[in-house]
Structure 1
Amino acid sequence: MITKLQILKHDNGGARIGVEIKDMVKNLKWVTDLNYSAGELTFDIVNGKDPIIPAMGAIVDFAWDNKDIFWGFVFSAECTSDTTVSVKAYDFERYLKSEGSVVFQSGTLGDRYSNVCRRFGVPFHIKEQPTYRVPAEVCDGKTGFDMIKSAIDKTYSATGEMYCIVANHMYIELRRAPIPTRTLLVIDTQNTMSDYTYSESIDNAANVVQVVQKNTDNSQTKTATATSETGDDPATTSFTIASARGNTIRTWGQIVKVVNAKNKANWAQMVQQANDELKKRNVSERKLTLDCMGDTSLIAGAGANVKIKDFGKTWTNCPILKATHNFGTDYTCSLEMKVGTKWQENSL
């Protein structure tokens, strides 16, 4: 049950004052999303008399069963003729949508994360400290999310270790993903799961990757396919191509992806780039969406054990990409999960 839902504001002395609205709230929903989006809390205030319209930026403090769940800030409020007020609030991650131009020197993901959080005034913790040093980078007019995402992606490509950003009430955390739930919860079709959809696709996959570097002189090349339609002179234009081939060609057929070589890459670097790209692309995309009994530990970035008896599938520490919590008489969760990814410990 809701044990706290307060709208707070600061008075001139800095103290927090506000109103408790837990007995006036309907349609309370909490959404967390791993795709670099802020946690979102939405609800309707039904007062039955004068509408309670919170100020923009007012603090929303929410607890469920005496556990602090959400600390965020009002970003929109809408009042209808029946005096119902619909409110949307975001947690601290919302401020990582702020933009800036920064030159980052080489450092770890933790260094980048703490730099960005301080720059945009976001309270933070680093739960697990990465050791890989991300190369120096220029971020011009990028959001805080973009700056951190770039370092997360580079760390994953180099080490296979996935990290994520999650809100923990009054601050945000950098965590190794997937985050184990408090009991590594088992969601199964016999007990806690009410509905599910499982899909597998290779629409976005590739099992042949070609890294291409365009040459504009008559130096030695391995492949030449230039045409005048590109605006390049066929007499002086050629391509150097480094290829990597996957082990699924016999079963999937040949699916080719061409990517540009990194700036000034040599042949060995192009081969390495092709192999790295192949590792990411030579996999089928497996998705699982399900509805289950509510549990506040089921947040985006967390992992849970899932068992579907119908076709004998079990996944261990399956990562949650998006979680929607519907608080009410029947507390339920809707989860979007991606299974079979390399940063997931699973048994397929």
Structure 2
Amino acid sequence: MMTVTMFTIKTPGTKTTWDVRDILESEIKWTTDIDFAAGELTFKLVEVDEGFTPKNGDEVRFCWDHKKVFRGKIFKFDYDQSEVFSITAYDNLRYFKNQDSLIWPVSTISQRFTKAAKLAGVPHKVVDKSTHKLVAEVCDSKSYFDMLKDSFKATRRATGHRYFLYCNYGTVELRRAPSKRMKYYMGDGSYLTGFSYSRSIEDVANVVRVVRTDKKKKQQTSSTSKVKLTSAQEKAAEVKNTKLTTITKKGNSVERWGKLQVVEKAKDKANVAQMKAKAASILKSKGKQAHTLKLDVLATLNMIPGNEYPVKIKSLKDIGVGTKYLLITKATHTFSGTTDQAELEMKVRW
């Protein structure tokens, strides 16, 4: 029978480890996300007169059915008249929100991840190594998440491989999706208790304009001949001295969905070829409709972001979504009594 087999809280620098299983007041919720977010654990504890009070910074460890699930620190707790603590803890990916300024030399994401993890001060491991060399880059006043996000995107564009971060019971790991490809399907008669599916073009762009603004340098005038211009004259002069160079890329969905246009600024010295490449890249990323599939399941601990499962649901097949392997991008597990139920967000590929 599955149940909570370990749930402890310990204040760093002290010898006492508190087993709090008997004062868990409600369900335990564990949320993990492939998209650069820390794993989160939320739970409630009943206040007891035994000298125990949770504190920010306390370490939390949680095992389900003797399997390691979560290890992290308390970042927030609330307490009210019901004498119950509502607690939020995060795993070590939380420290990748730290900001820094770095210059990346020509290097791989494996090397950049290792450096960021060391600077963040967390245990780390490269599970899946990348050999693709990225160009040198200046990252000024950015979080480690944002620094790595740009590098991950560049690697994916060049190699087709999707890398992501996962905190494995305290150790932050660099993984490549799919981390595991499971044999057992999710769907009718297997794990599934419900689902929701949607398609949206609300954030689509099928026309992309990349614009470079060029301004002529103002001619210098002597102090004796300088005349103060009115506001209208200054604006007129600015318009006269400004030239816009525009590159436009159109997708093949304009007739079907209508014109959905975005404008992006080009760098000051970008040439036409670079502007065309930028427009094509934006159109590729924003030109497709979004598919959202959420599954409610009776879960196992393998149902985490980065793993793939075959999904087989007759109702989806009826609207054109056939059986295929889908990647889990976000998982919210709810542990209650002897059950682990989860809401899974899946990446629908087209």
TM range (shorter): 0.7 to 0.9
Equivalent of 2:334 in 319, 326, 334:
326
Between 1:27-36 and 1:63-72, the stretch displaced more is: 27-36
- Higher-Rg structure is 2
Distance 1:339 1:231, change over 3 A: farther
Partner of 1:5 in structure 2?
Answer: 7
Residues 213 and 268 of structure 2 are in contact (CA less than 8 Å); yes or no, is this contact kept in structure 1? no
SS at structure 1 position matched to 2:156: helix
The Cα of 1:146 is off from its aligned counterpart by 1.4
Aligned ranges 1:1-348 → 2 under 5 Å: 1-11=3-13, 17-25=16-24, 26-46=26-46, 49-50=49-50, 52-180=52-180, 183-217=182-216, 233-312=238-317, 313-314=321-322, 316-329=324-337, 330-340=339-349
TM-score, scaled relative to structure 2? 0.85
Identity %: 33
TM-score, scaled relative to structure 1? 0.86
SS at structure 1 position matched to 2:74: strand
Residues 178 and 317 of structure 1 are in contact (CA less than 8 Å); yes or no, is this contact kept in structure 2? no
The one-letter amino acid paired with 1:140 is: D
The one-letter amino acid paired with 1:286 is: H
Deviations 1:76-124 (A, max 9, x none): 2333344322222110011111122222222111121111111110111
The Cα of 1:177 is off from its aligned counterpart by 2.2
The one-letter amino acid paired with 2:239 is: P
SS at structure 2 position matched to 1:94: helix
Distance 1:213 1:167, change over 3 A: same
SS at structure 2 position matched to 1:111: helix
- Structure 1 CA distance, aligned partners of 2:32 and 2:19? 24
- Structure 1 CA distance, aligned partners of 2:240 and 2:31? 57
Between 1:192-201 and 1:329-338, the stretch displaced more is: 329-338
The Cα of 1:185 is off from its aligned counterpart by 4.3
SS at structure 2 position matched to 1:107: coil
The Cα of 1:49 is off from its aligned counterpart by 4.8
- Structure 2 CA distance, aligned partners of 1:280 and 1:232? 38
Residues 315 and 339 of structure 1 are in contact (CA less than 8 Å); yes or no, is this contact kept in structure 2? no
Instruction: Structure 2 unaligned segments of length 5 or more: list them.
Output: 218-232
Deviations 1:201-233 (A, max 9, x none): 111112222222122349xxxxxxxxx998773
Instruction: Structure 1 unaligned segments of length 5 or more: list them.
Output: 219-227, 341-347
Count of aligned positions = 328
- Structure 2 CA distance, aligned partners of 1:253 and 1:150? 31
Deviations 1:124-177 (A, max 9, x none): 111111222222222222112111112112222333322111111120111112
Between 1:46-55 and 1:83-92, the stretch displaced more is: 46-55
Between 1:126-135 and 1:282-291, the stretch displaced more is: 126-135
